[in-house]
Every structure is written in C-alpha cells, then in structure tokens.
Amino acid sequence: MSLGHLIRDNAPLSYWLVLFVVGGFAFAVYQGFFRARKIQPKGFRWKTFRNEIFFAIINLAIGATILGYISSELKSHGAITFNNSPTSWWVVALEYTAYFLGFDTYFYWFHRLMHLEPMYKWVHKLHHRSTSPNILTTLSVSPLESIINGGFVPLFTALLTVHQSTMLLIAPTNVIMGLYVHSGYEFFPRWWNKSWATKWFITATFHDHHHHYFKFNFGGYTTLWDWICGTVRPNFAQDYEQITARTRASAASPVAIAGSTQS
Ligand SMILES: [Zn+2]
Ligand SMILES: [Zn+2]
C-alpha cells in the first residue's frame, strides 16, 4: 500500500491527528514548553536555515528520486518482495529489531567513514553546516549521503523478505528518528540517560552534540556502537543532566523560564 493510499483510506483519522498535533504545538508554545527544552538556546541561525531549505530541496529532487528509482527497479525485477500472508506479532517484532539494529550498525560505520577525508568533503560536510540542528537539517544532506543512508532499506528488504506490517513500522521510525534527533529540543526526561533500560537509545541531545562538537556521538538509533568504540562525548552525561534540569525548573516556574534568556 502506498503512502497516498494510506493517507486517503485513513483521512478522518489523519484530520484528527493533525488537529491534535497543531493544537498541542500551540499550547506547548504558549506554555514556554519548547523554550525550556532548547538544547542550544542561542544556536539558531536564519542564514543556516535558509541554506538548509535550498539543500533540502536539491536533496529531495535528486537523492529521493534516485532512491525511489532503485527501489522500484528492485521491486519490478522481483529482488524485493514482501510477505503478506497472516503472521504473528513476534515475527514482526523480530524483523523490526533486525532492521533497528542493522540500520544502527550500518549508519554508525558509514558515518565514521564519512568523517574521514576525502569522504567528508565530498559527502558529509554539507550536513555539518549546521552546528545547532533544526528539523530541516534532517533533509539538508548531499544526495550522495541520502543514497548511502537511505540505501539500507532496499538492501535490507532485498536480503530479507519481511512482512508488510514490518514495513509500516520501518518508514515512520526513519522519519520520526531523523526529525527528533535534529529537532534542537530535548523531550526525553532526565532519567533517560541514567536508566539501564533506556540509556542505549539515542536522544536529540546526543546527536545535537555530534553537530556541535563534531568528533563524538556518531550513532543513529542507539548509543551502543559509540560505547563499544569509545566515541561517546566525555561530558555528554553531565551536559544532558544540565539541559534536562532546565525542563524541571520550567515545570516549577514556567513564567520565569519563558521570560529568561538562557545561556
Ligand atoms: Zn557527522
Ligand atoms: Zn545530523
């Protein structure tokens, strides 16, 4: 089922969802919710944002078109097929876990490679124009980087015939994770980076610090490879504490935080 069909078939639900998101967003802005959660409070630059609009359009026009062409060619030649017979939830869970960890590994190592010259200059430098990311930074990558990262899904589905329900989970994961880690805001709580159950999952602060400090935090979905390879930024845990402490302060006194200029 295409995205167009999915939206059309669930139109009433989509309207409510949009209304809910827009309403929640307006309410949150009113509450100073976002201001307290900004990772780099003075990091936003209009000039960078303008450039990102330009590069995002180029990337969508070239990178997304080539990726779409490769995927449709692989599908029409039978190299990519999906399982659409009845299945149990654990098959979908297992396939999704394989995708999640597979992409995380693929992303980490290609990302490390892209930080080496001449790959950096040719492929990855464009994405690092923003040292304080915003949601547009997600798309502001060179078409070549887009093809490298986006190439994982066609590769994964060519190697493994996954169930179509798994595919319905993979696409939103990709979009949501990309937007969240580049949002410039930390929505996760303080305990996230301390608990053994959650500290392995990436936060927006983790990737924001990759853009800010450059040499550390290469992971895409998890912090696992960064821990294994010793590439977690040394002061990351301490800074995460400080950023999430602002959120607690805003909950205690929303007016004071909304009116303050943080540094
Ligand atoms: Zn990078
Ligand atoms: Zn990034």
User: What confidence tens digit (pLDDT) does each residue in 90-136 have?
Assistant: 999 999 999 999 999 999 999 999 999 999 999 999 999 888 888 88
Tell whether 171 is covered by a domain: yes
Distance of alpha carbon 95 from the chain centroid: 20
Tell whether 40 is covered by a domain: no
Which of 188, 180, 187, 201 shows the shortest CA–CA distance to 138? 180
Q: CA–CA separation, 234 vs 240, rounded Å?
A: 11
Cα dihedral angle (213, 49, 56, 53), rounded to 10 degrees?
-170
Residue span of the structural domain in which 106 resides: 46-188
Residue entry with tokens 């845990």: 237
Ligand 1 centroid vs 18 CA: distance in angstroms? 32
Tell whether 28 is covered by a domain: no
Ligand number nearest CA of 136 is: 2
Q: Tally Cβ neighbours within 10 Å of residue 152.
A: 20
Angle at CA of residue 104, ends 102 and 107, nearest 5°: 105
Q: CA–CA separation, 150 vs 105, rounded Å?
A: 14
Angle at CA of residue 18, ends 10 and 96, nearest 5°: 60
Tell whether 35 is covered by a domain: no
Ligand 2 centroid vs 92 CA: distance in angstroms? 28
Q: CA–CA separation, 103 vs 109, rounded Å?
A: 10
Over 50: is that where the pLDDT of 258 sits? no
Ligand 1 centroid vs 103 CA: distance in angstroms? 16
Tell whether 122 is covered by a domain: yes
Angle at CA of residue 207, ends 225 and 114, nearest 5°: 65
Residues 12-38 pLDDT 10s = 666 777 788 888 777 766 666 667 777
Tell whether 224 is covered by a domain: no
Ligand 1 centroid vs 227 CA: distance in angstroms? 17
Q: Tally Cβ neighbours within 10 Å of residue 219.
A: 26
Ligand 1 centroid vs 100 CA: distance in angstroms? 19
Ligand 2 centroid vs 131 CA: distance in angstroms? 9
Ligand number nearest CA of 178 is: 2
Ligand number nearest CA of 213 is: 1
Q: What average pLDDT does the segment 136-146 reach?
A: 90
Q: What is the pTM of this model?
A: 0.80
Tell whether 235 is covered by a domain: no
Residues 203-237 pLDDT 10s = 999 999 999 999 999 999 999 999 999 999 999 99
User: Is the separation of the CB atoms in 231 and 177 below 8 Å?
Assistant: no
Ligand number nearest CA of 206 is: 2
Ligand number nearest CA of 131 is: 2
Ligand 1 centroid vs 115 CA: distance in angstroms? 6
Q: What average pLDDT does the segment 169-180 reach?
A: 89
Tell whether 70 is covered by a domain: yes
Ligand 2 centroid vs 115 CA: distance in angstroms? 12
Total structural domains within the chain: 1
Q: Left (φ > 0), alpha (ψ -120 to 50) or beta: where does 161 sit? A: beta
